[in-house]
Structure 1
Amino acid sequence: MIEYTFAAEIAEADKPVILNSRIFKEWLERSQEKFVVSKIHFASVDFLSKVHEPLFIKLRATAMLPDGKPVHGIVLVRGNAVGVLVVLKCEGKKYLLLVRQPRFAISEQASLEIPAGILDWTGDYRKVALSELEEEAQIVAEDSELIDLTRFWWGDSTEGFAASCGLLDERIRLFAIEREVTPEQLKAMDGKDQTYMDENEWIRTEVLPYEEAAHQFVDGKNLIALFLYERWQRQQSAVSNQR
């Protein structure tokens, strides 16, 4: 039996909402498979603006390994996410389509990132990946175009890579998509603006040469996606050469 406590600023009506939220229940289920959890204190909660569901839950758990060793219990629960590496091929050269957006946490006004988004209630990574492509990159794609980099590298052993495993529960499932485009299409994809006032998102697409882009971004999911994509490419080349 877990003892739950809440910070004073958390409203009474919000307590069952937090306890019954998808992101908390999924995190707790995974945690109890490997750890013994006796207490959870909810320090703060941020809610989605469109619906009253938790977006981020900061908690402190009293937990231990099965052999009784205590573990660090501070967690920021936000659920899983997806990211899509968009590789454009034009006249024999490769480019990446990325998005720039403000990231206050790392003091960047225009962080350069691959299109990405939080997994929604459906739990369908591929569906969310296609939705984020259309929303952030203005690319309408078919499911068959998605390359599941996470499955390629890890098989079914994980849902995604851990972005910051000392604090975040988040695992990001990574995909890639390849597109042959004309110079005119390539130019049209660059510099598109998207504004989402309700979520304070200000996004601008940017197309950069493949190697140049790789030296410009610092976001972790970009680098992992690039690594996995290049390993996938290597495998495809090896298979092709064997035929």
Structure 2
Amino acid sequence: MSTTTTAPASTTVSIRGENVPVTLVPSLDVPIQTAVNAPNFQKWIKKMDKQDQLKVNSILIQSIDMFGPNVGFLKFKAEVHALPEKRPVPGIIFCRGGSVAILVILTSKETGKEYSLLTVQTRVPAATFAYSEIPAGMLDGSGHFAGVAAKEMKEETGIDVTEDRLIDMTKLAFGDSAEGMYPSPGGCDEFIRLFLFRDTLEQAKIDELQNKLTGCLSENESITLHVVPFDELWRRSPDGKTLSSLFLYEKLRAEKKL
């Protein structure tokens, strides 16, 4: 008679020297160790390990989305108390990790007029068929911000740039105190590293980018580029990373850091 061994649906992680129980909801068929070893989950654990005013009592993993063999997105609920009064604080987390975004400024060689690039693509979470935003993409877990930004520039705009031509505005503004801009810290761990790319091109080259089709087909990306006057960019997109990049750019210029 053969027996089937069921993978355990619970384990523990160490946070501030204490073993914190981690449990999977019964409906999930992903091994719990796969979830616990996910880079974004481990990153969250390490960050919580440095918080001496927060105590994590338990973690319930409620949802896992796999990207091939790797964990893409996690949703979990953490029971957390603020110390010393042991006051409960909200702890529902959509764990998706960091990303990068690039503000593109192209100057016409003939006229000196500045333009920017928006990528237009379908964004189902926003229930929008054609959503306009600056080029962006998820980090790959390596922590190599500029390398990922250069890769996304190539995939989303067709512009091939070297890493040294990308200016890390997050670094200029915050040094090492922040990994990026947090668009929704009340429910998501995502941070966005904001970069700047500037170049001067012939007007004809800028015009060629208008309505250009780009994107990585293997990742189901279908992107249309829109060239917009830079001084109108803030009107053309309500996107958080786009507006945040504009704000940082203006403030860094005012302080003569750009």
**Which residue does the alignment assign to 1:150?**
170
Q: Which amino acid aligns with 2:188?
A: L
Answer yes or no: is the 8 Å Cα contact 2:150–2:162 preserved in 1. yes
Please state whether the residue corresponding to 1:215 is helix, strand or coil: helix
**Which residue does the alignment assign to 2:31?**
14
Measure, in 2, the Cα distance between the counterparts of 1:37 and 1:219: 33
Residue from 112, 118, 124 that aligns with 2:138: 118
Measure, in 1, the Cα distance between the counterparts of 2:140 and 2:256: 32
Check if 1:46 corresponds to 2:65.
yes
Residues 195 and 129 (structure 1), Cα distance of their counterparts in 2 relative to 1, 3 Å cut: closer
**Which residue does the alignment assign to 1:65?**
82
Check if 1:161 corresponds to 2:151.
no
Measure, in 2, the Cα distance between the counterparts of 1:167 and 1:27: 13
Residues 160 and 195 (structure 1), Cα distance of their counterparts in 2 relative to 1, 3 Å cut: closer
Q: How many residues align?
A: 235
Unaligned segments of structure 2, at least 5 residues: 1-18
Check if 1:100 corresponds to 2:120.
yes
Cα deviation, residue 66, structure 1: 2.8
Q: Which amino acid aligns with 1:150?
A: T
Measure, in 2, the Cα distance between the counterparts of 1:14 and 1:199: 25
Root mean square deviation, CA, Å: 1.5
Cα deviation, residue 211, structure 1: 2.1
TM-score (norm 1): 0.92
TM-score (norm 2): 0.87
Cα deviation, residue 135, structure 1: 0.7
Measure, in 2, the Cα distance between the counterparts of 1:41 and 1:105: 24
Answer yes or no: is the 8 Å Cα contact 2:105–2:116 preserved in 1. yes
**Which residue does the alignment assign to 1:5?**
23
Q: Decide which structure has greater helix share.
A: 1
Measure, in 1, the Cα distance between the counterparts of 2:167 and 2:77: 37
Which structure ranks higher in relative contact order (CA pairs < 8 Å, sequence separation ≥ 6)?
Answer: 1
Measure, in 1, the Cα distance between the counterparts of 2:103 and 2:252: 13
Q: Which amino acid aligns with 2:198?
A: E
Answer yes or no: is the 8 Å Cα contact 2:41–2:95 preserved in 1. yes
Answer yes or no: is the 8 Å Cα contact 2:155–2:215 preserved in 1. no
Measure, in 2, the Cα distance between the counterparts of 1:52 and 1:8: 21
Please state whether the residue corresponding to 1:42 is helix, strand or coil: strand
Cα deviation, residue 147, structure 1: 1.1
Cα deviation, residue 190, structure 1: 1.7
Cα deviation, residue 195, structure 1: 4.5
Cα deviation, residue 106, structure 1: 1.3
Measure, in 1, the Cα distance between the counterparts of 2:255 and 2:205: 29
Residue from 182, 192, 201 that aligns with 1:181: 201
Measure, in 1, the Cα distance between the counterparts of 2:49 and 2:60: 16
**Which residue does the alignment assign to 1:191?**
211
Alignment identity in percent? 33
Cα deviation, residue 114, structure 1: 0.8
Per-residue Cα deviation, 1:134-188 (whole angstroms, up to 9, x for no partner): 1111111122211111011111111101110110101111000101011110011
**Which residue does the alignment assign to 1:131?**
151
Per-residue Cα deviation, 1:100-127 (whole angstroms, up to 9, x for no partner): 0111111111111111111112210010
Deviates more, 1:187-196 or 1:65-74: 187-196
